[in-house]
Amino acid sequence: MVLPVISYGDPVLRRKGEPVSVFDDNLKKLAEDMAETMRDDNGIGLAAQQIGKALQLFVVDVRPHKGEEQDFKLELDGKRVPAEVAMPLTIINAQIEALDDIECVYREGCLSFPGIFGEVVRCENIRVKFQDVAGAPHILECSGLLARCCQHENDHCQGIVFIDRMETRARLRNAAKIKSLKRDTIAEIKRARAEKKS
């Protein structure tokens, strides 16, 4: 089921997610719905906050398009795995650490910030300790776009959005759009509340 994606200005995007402690069919269904929502919006990642739930949960899918080569490292539990086998990945209760000091700049977007893009510096190589939908523990070592996507979505789980990490010039360039989006979202929330009361 495709879920509505929340836009910037909704307070839930600033809420740190609760750790997931119940691994049941409801959690599995939520993860499946999030993956479907992400695909429907042509995204490569989606965090629980973006569908209105403050949880330590996100999904990622950075499979290369047909005919393209995988240009990032993906090692799951010590084994190299092709992206088409591993994705979509559901990552729960993530703990992320940098594997080295290498950083890179990349132009990011976000499903909760439609039409807004800007340069963000992130670690190039990371290790992610996490649980899957059954609660089983895993270790993911990755680089490039997958590493960036995991960091972006894990930030959402901590109540951090990508404009917080955006380079200053990019943030200034997008300031009017960001302000407008926040204003429109808050107005929509107020309208919805008023309709509910009447």
Q: Which residue, chain included where needed, has tokens 């490569």?
A: 44
- Cis status of the peptide bond prior to 82, with omega within 30 of 0: no
Residue 75 to residue 162: CA distance in whole angstroms? 25
Residue 165 to residue 152: CA distance in whole angstroms? 10
Q: Please say whether the beta carbons of 119 and 91 come within 8 A.
A: no
Per-residue pLDDT of the chain in tens (198 residues, 90 and over written 9): 999 999 999 999 999 999 999 999 999 999 999 999 999 999 999 999 999 999 999 999 999 888 888 999 999 999 999 999 999 999 999 999 999 999 999 999 999 999 999 999 999 999 999 999 999 999 999 999 999 999 999 999 999 999 999 999 999 999 999 999 999 999 999 998 888 887
Q: Please say whether the beta carbons of 44 and 145 come within 8 A.
A: yes
Q: What is the pTM of this model?
A: 0.95
Tokens for 95? 């703990």
b/e burial code for range 113-125 (CB count within 10 A of at least 16 → b) = beebbbbbebbbb
- Active-site pick, 108, 124, 141, 153: 153
Q: Which residue, chain included where needed, has tokens 């591993």?
A: 86
Residue 153 annotated to the active site: yes
Kindly give, in sequence order, each residue whose CB lies less than 8 Å from that of residue 12, ignoring residues fewer than 6 positions away. Answer: 6, 49, 52, 53, 54
Backbone angles phi, psi at 7, to 5 degrees: -95, 160
Tokens for 36? 């479907």
